[in-house]
Structure 1
Amino acid sequence: MRIISANGVAHHVREEGDPAGRPIVFANSLGTDLRLWDNVLPPLPVGMRVIRFDLRGHGLSDVPAGPYQMGDLVDDTEALLDALDVRGALFVGLSIGGMIGMGLAARRPDIVGALVLSNTAAAMGTADMWNARIDAVQTNGLESIADSVMQRWFSPAFVRTPELTAWRNMMVRTAPEGYAGCCAAIAHADMTAQVASLTQPVLGIAGEMDGASPPDLVEDTVRRIKHARFATILAVGHLPHVEAPRAFAQLITDFVEETTHV
């Protein structure tokens, strides 16, 4: 277990693979922790330096008082990757992690050499929607919204499997202050200007049955980027790498090969 203080926040970090290899950084979605990527890592190309971390308010990282702004999360990630001396990374961000990736890639192209935007968009939902979710969490806890979140996260077929229990437990055990703080960050975030400025290669990934960030929303953001391509994984929801880890990992592997010499 490793803790690194970045931007005044203690972050739980895990490094695997070759310390001298090309860095690949994974940024989580709302209500999850770095275990989110467990099933994606084994099929990835060997020889990479794999870095995962828990966002503020999530997993084993600190839970600062909220609300948070998207700039806080980008600042955290920038400071963390500077502390790890990361340069030229492939940054893989899912949902809020993708929004963080957009901001960091625009600000620090020396850190982010290529970007995967999975199940995310420049703006997601409305402030009213997110504020209603914050109110529900603060009043009745994460348990009160868990079932509806699972419906958005996963396909109907996955919802009927025993594996759903683990993901539901991960979500409801997130610190309420951290969850609500990150909801506030999404509510007021519009990364359109950052997206328009990106010059790095970008791969956009959507889940066909995603109820949180539908494929057309993801594609609309990705198509604004000059050097970008887009792929949809069929019959999966908001966390496509959970339901189809090998398909997701193959897209990443192909993108690694495409961008190795960029």
Structure 2
Amino acid sequence: MHIADLEGLAIHYRDDGDPDGAPIVFANSLGTDLRLWDKVLPLLPQGFRYIRYDKRGHGLTQTTRPPYSMGTLVRDAEILLDHLGVRDALFVGLSIGGMIGQGLAVKRMDLVRALVISNSAAKIGVPSMWQERIDAVNRDGIESLADAVMERWFGRAFRATEELAAWRNMLVRQPAEGYAGCSAAISGTDFYTPTSGLRLPVLGIAGSEDGATPPDLVRETVDLVPGSKFELIRGAGHLPCVEKPEDYARILTDFIKETGHG
């Protein structure tokens, strides 16, 4: 467990693998912490430096007063990677993490040499939808949204397993202020123009049963970048790294090799 106090924010992160290896950075979805990647990391190649962190208001990272802006979340990732001496990373972002990755790649070309936009998009939903969610969390807590979120996160088969309870618990135990703050950041983000200007290797990953960012939405975003790739994981929802870790790791490993990372 590592905590870095950076610009007044205590950021929780993990730094695993080979400290001298090429860096691969993971950013989590709304409502999850860095354990999101626990199933995938053991399946990835050795010799790399694997960095994970809890974004603002999630996991063991400090919660600040909402709302948050996407620029703030991008800055949090930027100062952490600078603190860790990271350059030329392969950045894997899922959901809001994919938005953070897009923003970071636009802002700091020296930090991101390849980008995975997983179950994410340049724009997700509309402000009215996010405001309803924020109001519900502020009024009734995350528990009031939990069952609906599980249907978006996971395919039917996974929702019938005992493991579902653990992920539901992870969601409802996130700070309500952090969830609301990050929801506001998503609501205010439209990266279509900046993302269309990116010129780096990009991979899009989608789940066929994703109720939050459907495959067509993910594909529409990655198609903004010339030469990008798109992979669909069948039978998975919004968190395919949890439901189909072998498929996810295979796709990610292929991308690592294709980009010559490391």
Calculate the TM-score normalised by the size of structure 2: 0.99
Aligned to 1:244: 244
Residue 69 (structure 1) aligned with residue 79 (structure 2):
no
Which deviations, in whole Å up to 9, do the C-alpha atoms of 1:47-88 show, x marking residues without a partner? 000000000000000001010000000011001100101001
Within 2, Cα distance between the matches of 1:247 and 1:241?
8
**Structure 1 counterpart of 2:27, which letter?**
A
Aligned to 1:183: 183
Superposed counterparts of 1:1-262, under 5 Å? 1-260=1-260
Say which SS state the counterpart of residue 209 (structure 2) adopts.
Answer: coil
How much has 1:226 moved relative to structure 2? 1.1
**Structure 2 counterpart of 1:182, which letter?**
C
Say which SS state the counterpart of residue 178 (structure 1) adopts.
Answer: helix
**Structure 2 counterpart of 1:15, which letter?**
D
Query: Does the 8 Å contact 1:11/1:61 carry over to 2?
Result: yes
Cα distance change of structure 1 residues 19 and 76 upon mapping to structure 2, 3 Å threshold: same
Within 1, Cα distance between the matches of 2:247 and 2:261?
23
**Structure 2 counterpart of 1:173, which letter?**
R
**Structure 1 counterpart of 2:95, which letter?**
S
Within 1, Cα distance between the matches of 2:56 and 2:110?
23
The unaligned stretches of length 5 or more in structure 2 are none
Query: Does the 8 Å contact 1:158/1:164 carry over to 2?
Result: yes
Within 2, Cα distance between the matches of 1:110 and 1:194?
16
Say which SS state the counterpart of residue 123 (structure 1) adopts.
Answer: coil
The unaligned stretches of length 5 or more in structure 1 are none
Which deviations, in whole Å up to 9, do the C-alpha atoms of 1:23-68 show, x marking residues without a partner? 0000000000000000000110110000000000000000010100
CA RMSD of aligned residues (A): 0.9
Total equivalences in the alignment = 262
How much has 1:261 moved relative to structure 2? 5.6
How much has 1:9 moved relative to structure 2? 1.2
**Structure 2 counterpart of 1:103, which letter?**
G
Query: Does the 8 Å contact 2:210/2:236 carry over to 1?
Result: yes
- Identity rate, percent: 59
Which deviations, in whole Å up to 9, do the C-alpha atoms of 1:146-191 show, x marking residues without a partner? 0000000000111111000000000000000000000000011001
